[in-house]
Amino acid sequence: MGKIRQIEGVKSVSHANWFGGIYITEKNFFPQFAVQAQSYFALYPEFVVAPGQMRDFLRDRKGAIVGRKLATTYGFRLGDQVTLRGTIFPGNWEFVVRGIYDGAEARTDTSQFFFHWDYLNETMMKLAPRRANTVGVYVIGLTSAERAAAVTLAIDATFRNSLAETLTETEQAFQLGFVSMTEAIVVAIKIVSFLVIFIIMAVMANTMAMTARERTAEYATLKALGFGPLPVAAMIFGESLAIAGAGGLIGVVLTFPVAERFGAEMGGLFPVFNVSRETVTMQAAAALLVGAVAACLPALRAARVRIAEGLRHAG
């Protein structure tokens, strides 16, 4: 860590280890990190911890800080004892919840579990000395964001061809690595979404076609009264867009509680699952597209209907 601090552009350094423990059963997955407490949280101001809770955490070697979402999901409270069954680091590990952090922003991940790296290291010194004094991740604070590329290259060059070569990347790239693990799920959701939109479009088109067929006489009457093809077609488009818009509005309103429930059920797999403005915009656009496409054929037929044929159809 001393060598990293000496690199120009580095302001502060901390370290962490991925723990990978199991809470009760394997399905209870959430991120767990052994961290160098003070320096780590100094690098993440978006993790908001009450000063008193932070003091309790720093004083307790077995202390842990958990995210608000994680605490809500599993019912963790201050002072609770939490046992994690180690996978990477074997054994049952006892922790005490000393703090619950909130996110400074809505997109902040509050589903993580942090504890002292010193506790992990001291235990490994007793159980497996060869695995002690090792670090999985170094977290670096820069003097300027513009120096990210240069610092990245400098760090990797410093440790190239050593026993501990590094792969330095920005935090965004690091997080995208985790996101890529859920890529298959995201792709499946997209495919299902497009299929649902296609089915809704087919149902909507059939509904509008039946409606237009039943109203053929009305369209012929309008033409007999002097209305041209465009006003008749516009009326059908307006009706279709109104129906699709109403359905889209209901869908947008229901999206928020459904997304909140989905995020709670998925736990650490999707730690931040918020409905963005882009999502709402795409929902509205999809609804209007469905309405417009569904009205095309019925509007064309109504615009072309002949007055005499339309009136005979009524009979």
Closest CA to 134 of 217, 275, 15, 292: 15
pLDDT at 314 over 60: no
* DSSP labels, 170-221: -HHHHHHHHHHTTHHHHHHHHHHHHHHHHHHHHHHHHHHHHHHHHTHHHHHH
Q: d(Cα 80, Cα 238) in Å, to the nearest integer? A: 59
Q: d(Cα 91, Cα 131) in Å, to the nearest integer? A: 14
Is the distance from CB of 20 to CB of 88 less than 8 angstroms?
yes
Structure tokens at 301: 């037929």
Task: State residue 94's pLDDT score.
Answer: 94
Task: State residue 182's pLDDT score.
Answer: 63
Task: State residue 76's pLDDT score.
Answer: 94
Task: State residue 268's pLDDT score.
Answer: 53
Better pLDDT: 270 or 15:
15
pLDDT at 209 over 90: no
Q: How many residues does the chain have?
A: 315
Name the 3-class secondary structure at 100: strand
Radius of gyration of the chain (CA): 30
User: What's the pLDDT tens digit per position in 6-48?
Assistant: 888 888 889 999 998 999 988 888 889 999 988 999 999 999 9
pLDDT at 91 over 70: yes
Instruction: Specify the range with the lowest mean pLDDT, choosing from 83-87, 154-158, 192-196, 216-220.
Output: 216-220
Cα distances (angstroms) measured from residue 99 to each of 16, 17, 23, 80, 228: 18, 19, 18, 10, 71
Closest CA to 106 of 273, 267, 291: 273
Task: State residue 67's pLDDT score.
Answer: 93
Q: How confident is the model at residue 98 (pLDDT cuts 50, 70, 90)?
A: very high
Domain residue limits, the chain: 2-170, 183-314
User: What's the pLDDT tens digit per position in 99-141?
Assistant: 999 998 877 888 899 999 999 999 998 888 888 888 888 888 8
* DSSP labels, 250-298: HHHHHHHHHHHHHHHHHGGGSS-----HHHHHHHHHHHHHHHHHHHHHH
Structure tokens at 308: 């005499």
What's the mean pLDDT when you consider all of the chain? 84
Identify which of 94-108, 178-192, 203-217 has the greatest average pLDDT.
Answer: 94-108
Q: d(Cα 273, Cα 261) in Å, to the nearest integer? A: 10
The sign one gets for the Cα dihedral 290, 294, 296, 302 is: negative
Q: d(Cα 137, Cα 142) in Å, to the nearest integer? A: 16
In the block, residue with structure tokens 């506790």 = 119
pLDDT at 312 over 70: no
Closest CA to 178 of 117, 137, 121, 145: 137
Task: State residue 315's pLDDT score.
Answer: 44
Instruction: Specify the range with the lowest mean pLDDT, choosing from 110-119, 170-179, 245-254, 256-265.
Output: 170-179
